[in-house]
Amino acid sequence: MNVHPLLWFTGILFIFCLLPVHAISQVQIIGTVSEADNTPIPSANVLILSPADSSLVKGAVTDRDGQFSIENVESGTYIISISMIGFKEHERSIVLDDRNDSQLNLERIILQESLEQLGEVVATARRPLYEQQVDRLVVNVQSRITTSGSSALEVLEKSPGVQLNRQSNNLSLNGKSGVIIMINDKVVRLPLEAVITMLNGMSSSNIEKIELITTPPARYDAEGNAGIINIRMKDYTDLGYTGTIGTDVGYNSAETLGGNFSFSSRKRKVALLLNYSISYNNSEEHMFSERFVTESGFTQNVRTENSRDPITAVQNLTAGIEYAITKDTDIELILTGYRRLWDTADFSENLNHSSPGQLQTMEQRIQEKNLWQNGILNLGIDHAFRSDRTLNLDLDYLYYNNSNPSDYQIDVLSGTIDPNSADIINVEKDTPLSFWVTKMDYRHGISEYVSLETGIKGTFSNFSNDVRVNERINGTFQMNNLFSNEADQNEFIGAAYVASNITPSESIQINAGIRYEYVDRNLSSPDEGSIVDLQTGRFFPSLFIQKGFQGPNSLNFSYSRRITRPTFWDLAPFVFFIDPNTFLSGNSNLKSAISDNFSLGFSRNQFLVTLSYSHSSDEIAPWQPVYNSDTDNQTYSTQNLDYLDTYALTSSFPVNLSRWLNIRLNATGTYQFYRSAHLEDNFSGEAAGFNANIVNTITLTDNLLFEVSGMYISKSVWGITRSSPMGTLDLGLQKSFSDGQGTLRLRANDILNTNILQARTNLESDGLSSVWRYNRDFRSVAISFSWNFGSSDFENVEVNSGSAEEQNRVGIN
């Protein structure tokens, strides 16, 4: 396709970003800090802060005469904060206007003595809310006043470029799906729905920052076309213990309950970690689907309305120990457990107008259980030869098991009854999966300006999928060979990489690397023999360049090649009956998607803008309808597109109306071109999309906050299917106690009931038009309370966690 518009836009953006850097005048701030009797106060901290989020703009320390000077501060409104041990902090608003004067003299600032007895105080500057680094955008969670009491998921979905669809349990980044979730550089090896549930039960008070890595460097796995979201938990380096306990009670269509507990303890050589969360959700769901097929002048109509009352119970457990064998070597052992039981009773009404003289109506009752269980054991060893030469070894074992029995009872209310049709269908599905993962990384600092990284990795996996479908026809049960299937897959992925970090000057950083991955995959069944026998290897290069300018301004360019492999759920030959003629199914013929990703970003203080482009071959698209005119069946399954091209523009900026009202806006616009690949008559299409979230925080008192937030997602493309616009409006009230140790929150989510997933497909060549709607009823009211506890002795410990990367290729519907 023609990429000239992208080149023009890139050039214009490049010029636009560079010009203001040198065009804006600078102001000098001077003053003197003293006591009430005019005695100078030396070594006082003087900070210039952004009023939007209290992020640091510039800073200085007073000299022996109590004087300070801060150069080259841009015009605007700021907060000046002056602090010193033994004195009360002085804070006030200042306005800089270079049109009137190039210097602001604050003259003499008097600090009042503090009567409090302080043991030890360390003055530290607050980090900005967003930091653009050479290969990632960092969201400093603790710089945001509303994070206390929030969940990790709530913080994540309000981050720039992140789009969360709670209806379909899907995450996208800058308009692209295929996101890998990591915690402390470790991939969360769970189904995406389980990851979302886990993050919703994780307190943000334990999160230090979130890293949005849209084009990951070579040290990370090449899996995930959209990139990586890495959640970094607080690193408690003090001796002592700390923890959080919380509870959540709410109501949507029925009761919701939850609780979480986290605890970490450190001694001089031993560190312990324990996290546990549990949630119970009794809700209602409604699904509607309808299709029209025109053939020989007659339009067939099939319609299904489904109501379900699922109960979902989820438990997560993580326990770990770190031990410092020597000063330079430590060992880590982590055990993770997960259990999710989804139990539902469904009732559906079906209408099938299959021919001019045939109109059939029926009812269907469904009992379904879906149980996911897994256990993960990780052993890691870290050794430092020197401060700039480190070796990391990791060994992981993962075991999953999915049991999904379903019973369908079908009652025909009117119309002709086919004597060969079933009135009861029983489905049994068992899927055990296991992984062995081994990995080694080595980092070598060659000089002050150059460092080298290299590593190898091997992943061995196996899964079995046994689906048995039995039907009762004329009072006798018999196996349905069309839907019954058994499959086994064995897979090996080997990888090696080399990367280099280069800093030729203080203002330029370069990260370049290349990764090679080899895949050997075999999928077979007893009936069909070998279904997939694949051996292939690919190189995945990456390049990152960051150029800094005067002040907090930077320009970033990145390129990387990525791969999205089909999840085991996508490949497994399973079946789920929506109605007797509509199914969900796996697709063992799926291919991996390969994407080339480019981005150009500019950051200026708290204003961020990024332009990106990606070309994905064999893009993996979920929920694609396929109609079989011979059997009158329609199947929804994951399919490959021929290609998907995505242009995206992401921006994030604050709007400061007053000291007590802070607004943050994140917006992403996309334009996509695609072509289908699985139809008899494939076609091309294009679509524009837009999503935004806005957070309004009103400070009522020092410990009482009110928040109004909203999210909007425009229509978007899922292969040949287009979804309708959707959004939410949420309200929240937060009360803090005991200097932030305790937090009470009252929240109302989706108060307008607009978070409803709707999609439509039109295939004129096949005479097919279909629509479906899915409402999980996210309207809810909930109250939560969390309490932080702990103690520490203010001494550092030298135990560090090991690191491991393993992609998540287990999926769930």
What's the confidence (pLDDT) of residue 126? 47
CA dihedral over 384, 229, 807, 243, signed as positive or negative: positive
User: Helix (H, G, I), strand (E, B), or coil: what is residue 42?
Assistant: coil
Mean predicted confidence (pLDDT) in 26-53: 83
Q: pLDDT tens for residues 121-132?
A: 433 444 556 677
Among the listed ranges 442-451, 506-515, 766-775, 792-801, which one has the minimum average pLDDT value? 792-801
What's the confidence (pLDDT) of residue 171? 74
Residue 396 has pLDDT above 80, yes or no: yes
Compare 683 and 15 and report the one with higher pLDDT: 683
What's the confidence (pLDDT) of residue 530? 78
**Cα separation of 190 and 811, whole Å?**
8
- Residue showing tokens 């308009």: 175
How confident is residue 811, by pLDDT bands cut at 50, 70 and 90? Answer: very low
What's the confidence (pLDDT) of residue 45? 83
How confident is residue 489, by pLDDT bands cut at 50, 70 and 90? Answer: confident
Torsion of CA 606, 611, 614, 619, to 10 degrees: 60
3-state secondary structure string, 704-720? EEEEEEEEEECCEEECC
What's the confidence (pLDDT) of residue 393? 94
Residue 120 has pLDDT above 70, yes or no: no
∠ CA 791-792-795, rounded to 5°? 180
**Cα separation of 159 and 210, whole Å?**
9
Residue 805 has pLDDT above 50, yes or no: no
What's the confidence (pLDDT) of residue 235? 59
Q: pLDDT tens for residues 217-255?
A: 888 887 776 778 888 876 555 567 878 888 889 888 888
**Cα separation of 222 and 495, whole Å?**
9
* Greatest mean pLDDT range, 155-159, 195-199, 200-204: 155-159
Mean predicted confidence (pLDDT) in 485-510: 89
Cα end-to-end distance, the chain, whole Å: 34
Compare 600 and 721 and report the one with higher pLDDT: 600
**Cα separation of 102 and 58, whole Å?**
17
What is the rounded average pLDDT for all residues in the chain?
Answer: 79
Contact 224, 253 (CB under 8 A): no
**pTM of the predicted model, to two decimals?**
0.70
Rg (CA), the chain: 29
Q: pLDDT tens for residues 620-642?
A: 887 787 777 777 777 878 889 99
* Greatest mean pLDDT range, 73-77, 468-472, 537-541: 537-541
Q: pLDDT tens for residues 714-745?
A: 887 777 788 889 888 888 888 888 666 788 88
**Cα separation of 245 and 640, whole Å?**
45
Mean predicted confidence (pLDDT) in 525-545: 85
Question: In DSSP terms, which residues pair with 86 in a beta bridge?
Answer: none
Mean predicted confidence (pLDDT) in 165-172: 64
Q: pLDDT tens for residues 462-471?
A: 888 888 889 8
Sequence letter at residue 673: F
What's the confidence (pLDDT) of residue 644? 92
Among the listed ranges 373-377, 731-735, 773-777, which one has the minimum average pLDDT value? 773-777
Contacts of 8 (CB under 8 A, 6+ apart): none
Among the listed ranges 61-65, 204-208, 320-324, 756-760, which one has the minimum average pLDDT value? 204-208
Mean predicted confidence (pLDDT) in 179-186: 78
Residue 199 has pLDDT above 80, yes or no: no
Q: How far is CA 437 from the centre of its chain?
A: 23
How confident is residue 377, by pLDDT bands cut at 50, 70 and 90? Answer: very high
Contact 808, 190 (CB under 8 A): yes
User: Helix (H, G, I), strand (E, B), or coil: what is residue 134?
Assistant: coil
Q: Burial level of 481, CB count in 10 A (0-12/13-18/19+)?
A: exposed
Query: What is the residue-wise DSSP string for 560-623?
Result: EEEEEPPPHHHHS--EEEEETTEEEE--TT---EEEEEEEEEEEETTEEEEEEEEEEET-EEEE
Sequence letter at residue 324: A
What's the confidence (pLDDT) of residue 143? 56
Contacts of 59 (CB under 8 A, 6+ apart): 45, 46, 47, 48, 70, 125
Residue 701 has pLDDT above 90, yes or no: no
What's the confidence (pLDDT) of residue 32? 93
Contact 23, 101 (CB under 8 A): no
Q: pLDDT tens for residues 670-694?
A: 999 999 888 878 888 888 988 888 8
Complete domains list, the chain, with CATH = 27-110 (2.60.40.10), 130-796 (2.40.170.20)
Mean predicted confidence (pLDDT) in 571-576: 66
How confident is residue 612, by pLDDT bands cut at 50, 70 and 90? Answer: very high
